[in-house]
Structure formats: structure tokens, C-alpha cells
Amino acid sequence: MVQNNCPGHYLFTSQTYLVIKSSLQYIKLIVRHVYLEFLLMVALHYISSNFSYPIHLIVSKGPSLENNEVVGFDEEAKKVIERLVEGSECLDVIPVVGMPGLGKTTLARKIYHDPKIPDEFFYCIWVFVGQSYIKKDILFNILKGFTKRIEEFQDMDETEIAEEICDSVDKSGGKCLIVLADVWDSDIVDFVKTVFPENNRGHRIMATTRYIHVATAVNADPHNLKFLTQKESFQLLEKRAFGKSRCPVELKEHEEGIVEKCSGVPLTIVVIAGALRGRTNDSDWRVVKENVGKYLIEKDEHQRCLKIVGLSYNHLPQDRKACFLHFGAFPQGFDIPAWKLIRLWIAEGLIMANLPGSEIEEIAECHLNDFANRNLVMVMEKRCNGQIKTCRVHDMLHEFCVKEATRLCLIQQLECLEVLKLKEDAFTGKSWKVETGGFRKLRVLQIENAKFETWEASNCPFPRLRNLILVSCVDLKAVPLELADLEYLQEMTLDNTKKANESAKEIECKKQEKQTPESVKFKLTIPY
């Protein structure tokens, strides 16, 4: 830049001019982006304030299994299955790669449950990996596919467990398929390959990943997941927004506009459909159509999906937002038992029986069914009465829950829960003695697979404990009777912890003796 003879006037070089021009264009883009987000928030506020859920939706069971059917993956599944069952007799890895929200895990589950797979493979084992994994845990999850006597191998190191898996595969006499879901680096795939014996039986590993460099590192020819076609996008939106019904003719124009702007990304379509589920008002659909495309101008696909999740989250009634964020308390890729989730909600004081004659558990089940109806939750299993038995959330939704909960400082209690979600590695001896006042703010304590036999908890170490969950603590002889004196204790669950059942029932009796009309009812659960 140089100054000419006129004060205040400058001459720019062509390169400087281009830089300034580019910067101005970028600033205009930011301003436009902020303005459009403002318009969308106005639109969302309009929809939320002008719509209330019909009463039949609030009390409905979980979505029918048909609602969880996948759309647009038949040809994709056929191609991958062909690669799994055909080809070399040597061990082979088939990676499935695609951006977040494109349906990698959905496709993998469809293939995993295809009737051709058990005909071809003697053992089929599903393992979730994730960004932060522990190799020993991965091996244990693989070993569970071969034996239920997993306790016998707890003290083994990685090499010994790998050898046990290798022997199990070899003795099976058939082919084995291991699915590694959500792989972030190729090292774990190479590690899992070492557990297979070199017996040329055509063993396979199928891995899903969002990163092309990870996919090509394990196989130069990965399966690239395609976007949905326009026809498939229509089918998915209609199925998730209207169930078995068809889209009303008067909404077709809006439906076409929404599909076009979703660009064939299944997660985007599903979440938007969930926000519109049960809505047949023309103005609601028009507002979403006019604004959702503007909401998707984010170039980063990952951030784009997170914003769409935020869109659906903003539609939730206020009393259900905290419940939804508590999905972030569970591990990513984890099939969540409904009873465990509901106990957590109740223990955190998130469920209020505000309808006459309604039990607090019924209200919690309605919340969970509402999340499923909105496509925020995937139903994995149902009970014989139609209620949800297990569920999970997409990894993008899980990431949103953790980030939003952290932003709202809601995650502080959940971090305590994670620190005290104690597993076998947390205990070194046969007894556990809890010091006085060691956990003054603890509200939820979950202990899994602990090997201690005795537990001492005198002088009220958990003064604010609301929920105690013991899972597979098979050696524990008794739960400390002092816990009966805890004022806030509302829930106690013993799952596969038989030796301590009698002491838990004794605590229940003591709590009932102290029960007053004003106090919260104590509940003991011992699943059989």
C-alpha cells in the first residue's frame, strides 16, 4: 500500500486489493449467517409456542419397530455382504467410511442382523470402539462372544486374553466376523487382527469410520457410503414424520423443500422429521422449510449435524431438556437399559408427577417414549408389554448432550457419577472401607464387577446419596446396614449381586419403618 499526493488517499497493490475484497466477502458471509440464525430462532420460537402435543402422543408406547426400519441401504448392504462372504480365504478387513450422520452404524447393524450372516459365520461379534478406547476392554467384549464365563479371565493381561480368543476362534471350526463400530484410528484394527489364527478360514473384520485415511490404512478399497437419493430421502422423512400414514397433499411442497436442503444426510432428515412429528399445520412446515436450509449453510459437516441436533433439542418441552442431556452420562455407543436411565432421572430429581394419579415411573417412561417418537433415541429392544427395554443415541446426539450439559454446568453431577461408576479395577483388596465425609455431595453411586467381599460405611459417608446401583458384585456379602439411615436414599438396585440381597431387603424394611407421609418412598429393585 502507498500514499498518493492527496491526504487520506491510498493506492493499493492488486494483491492487497484481493485480500481486502476476500475479507469483506467473508465478513458479509458472517453477518448473513448470524442474521439467518436469528431468523431460524424466531421460527423455532414460533413453532414451539404455537404447538402442543396431543395427549395420545404423551402417553403412547415407544415407536413401533417399523419406525426403526432403515431406508436406502438395501443395495449398500448387499455390496458389503458380498465382500464379507466372498473373496479370499485369508483374513480380510472391510471398512465402511462416511461422514457423521450418513448411517454407517445403521448400515452395519442391518448387515449384522441379515439372515445371510449367521449362515456364513459361526461367530458374529459386535464391539463399539469410539475415540477413547482401552485395548483390554475391546478384547473382553470380543471374548464375551465366545464364552459367558468371563469372570475366569478378569486377571489376565492383554496377551493372555488375545491368546484365549485365538484358541476360541480356532476351535470353533468355522468363520468368525467381528464388527468394530466407530473406529478413529487404524491401530485398533491392526491390534484386533492379531487375535485371529492363521488358519485361512475366511475370517472377516468390518469396521465403520468417518475418516478416509483410517479406512484406506486397513484396506485400499473401502466401502464409501453414499448419500440418500431424493426418493429415499422422501421415504425416510415420511416414515419418521408420519409413521405408516402418507404426507398430506397440502404439505408436499414443504416436504420437497426440506428434503432438497437436507442433501441426502439421513441423520439430518431423521432429526428434522422428529421435530415435525405429529404436526400437520401448514405454517409449521413452511417455517421449517424456509429456515432449515439457512441453518445448514455451515460448511463443516460435523458442526452442521450438531446444529440440527440443537434444532430438535430446542423443540423439547423445558422439563425434558435436562432428561435428554443425561444420555451423556452413559458411554458413547452403549445400549442403555431403560430402567437404569429412569432411575438416574428420578435420583437427580428431574421427574415430577404433575399429572393426577400418575406414578413418577410412568411419567419417566412417557419422557423416554417422547424422545423415541422425536427420533432422538433409537429403540434397541422392547418388552412384551411394548415398553422400551434398551435404547441408545447416535454418537452425534451423544456429543451434543455432553457439550450442552457441560455448557449448562449440568454435567458437574454427571462427572461425579462417572468418577464413582466404579468397576473392578478400582478395588485392590477384599474389603472396601469408606472414610467419613469422603463423598459429601455424591447423589448416585454405581459399582460394577467389584471383587470385594465386605463393605464398611460408618458415620454417614454418603449424606446426600439418592441412588445406589450394584451390578455383578458377586462376592459382596452384604450392603452396609448404615445406609438405611441416609435421609435422601430413594433407590437401591442389586443386579446379579445375590449374596447381598438379604441385607438390601433388611435396609428396605428399616426405611419403611422410618417412612412418614411427607418422606419420599424408598424402592428396592432386584431384577431376576
DSSP codes joined into one string, 252-299 = HHHHHHHHHHHTT-HHHHHHHHHHHTT---HHHHHHHHHHHHHHT--S
* pLDDT band with cut points at 50, 70 and 90 for residue 37: very low
Task: Give yes or no for a contact between 92 and 204, defined as CB atoms under 8 angstroms apart.
Answer: yes
Q: What is residue 99's three-state secondary structure?
A: coil
Distance in angstroms (rounded) separating the CA atoms of residues 18 and 63:
55
Among 2.60.40, 3.80.10, 1.25.40, 2.40.230, what is the CATH number of 11-23+416-525?
3.80.10
Residues shown for the chain:
528
Q: Residue 324 is placed in which grid cell?
A: 435428554
Whether the per-residue pLDDT at 248 is higher than 70: the answer is yes
Neighbours of 493 (CB within 10 A): 20
Report the candidate in 120, 236, 228, 133 with the shortest Cα–Cα distance to residue 188: 133
Cα 510 off chain centre by: 38
Q: Which residue has better confidence, 33 or 120?
A: 120
* pLDDT band with cut points at 50, 70 and 90 for residue 111: very high
Percent of the chain with pLDDT over 70: 75
Whether the per-residue pLDDT at 366 is higher than 80: the answer is yes
Domain with CATH 3.40.50.300 in the chain: 73-224
Look at residue 283 in the predicted model and tell me its pLDDT.
84
The CATH number that domain 318-399 falls under is: 1.10.10
Which of 136-150, 221-235, 349-363, 413-427 has the largest mean confidence?
Answer: 221-235
Question: For the residues 365-387, what does the mean pLDDT come to?
Answer: 87
Task: Give yes or no for a contact between 156 and 164, defined as CB atoms under 8 angstroms apart.
Answer: yes
DSSP string, 289-348: HHHHHHHT--SSHHHHHHHHHHHHHHTS-HHHHHHHHGGGGSPTT--EEHHHHHHHHHHT
Whether the per-residue pLDDT at 438 is higher than 60: the answer is no
**438-450 in b/e burial notation, b at 16+ Cβ within 10 A?**
ebeebbbbbbbbb
Record the pTM: 0.59
Look at residue 344 in the predicted model and tell me its pLDDT.
84
Strand partners, 10: 3
Distance in angstroms (rounded) separating the CA atoms of residues 296 and 305:
8
**Which of left, alpha, beta for 290 (phi over 0: left; psi -120 to 50: alpha)?**
alpha
Look at residue 25 in the predicted model and tell me its pLDDT.
52
Q: Give the architecture (CATH level 2) of 73-224.
A: 3-Layer(aba) Sandwich (3.40)
Domain with CATH 3.80.10 in the chain: 11-23+416-525
Cα 150 off chain centre by: 25
* pLDDT band with cut points at 50, 70 and 90 for residue 492: very high
**Which of left, alpha, beta for 219 (phi over 0: left; psi -120 to 50: alpha)?**
beta
Query: What type of residue sits at position 107?
Result: L
Domain with CATH 1.10.10 in the chain: 318-399
Query: What type of residue sits at position 392?
Result: R
